[in-house]
Amino acid sequence: MKIIIPLDENNGAGSRVCEHFGSAPFFGVVQTEPAQVEIIVNPNMHHDHGQCTPADAFAETGADAVIVNGIGARAAARLQSLGIDIYMAAHAQTLAEAIERFSSGALQKVGPQTACEGHGCH
């Protein structure tokens, strides 16, 4: 399984999870079997509101899921239309913590009512 996590920094498993999906400076690309983590730069970090396109790139990489602390409704709808599941990270602080929570089954899957409505949502 391939999981994408928005990050504030490139600090390996200790990288802080970013609060907003589309404007994250980095993304952790986590492969669960075999276990490996790659951190990539978000080339679309400075986008116009509502014009977030990382979802398209992740579909091409075979991503199965995204773990977020926050995501807008449009980005969530786009990911879901591509068959990529979205999970709320429950305010996980680091990439390692988010993966641990996901692996233990503790994360809630995002539905239309769970997405952010604006930048002050959490």
Tens-place pLDDT, residues 60-105: 778 999 999 988 888 888 888 889 999 999 899 999 999 999 999 9
| pTM, 2 dp | 0.84
The token duo for 81 is 């239309």
Domain boundaries, the chain: 2-109
H or E segment to which residue 5 belongs: strand 2-7
Of 71, 63, 84, 83, the C-alpha closest to 112 is 71
Residue 85's contacts (CB-CB under 8 Å, 6 or more residues apart) are: 64, 65, 66, 109
The token duo for 65 is 């899921």
Domain 2-109 belongs in CATH node 3.30.420.130: yes
Tens-place pLDDT, residues 5-61: 999 999 999 999 998 888 889 999 999 888 899 999 887 665 455 555 667 667 777
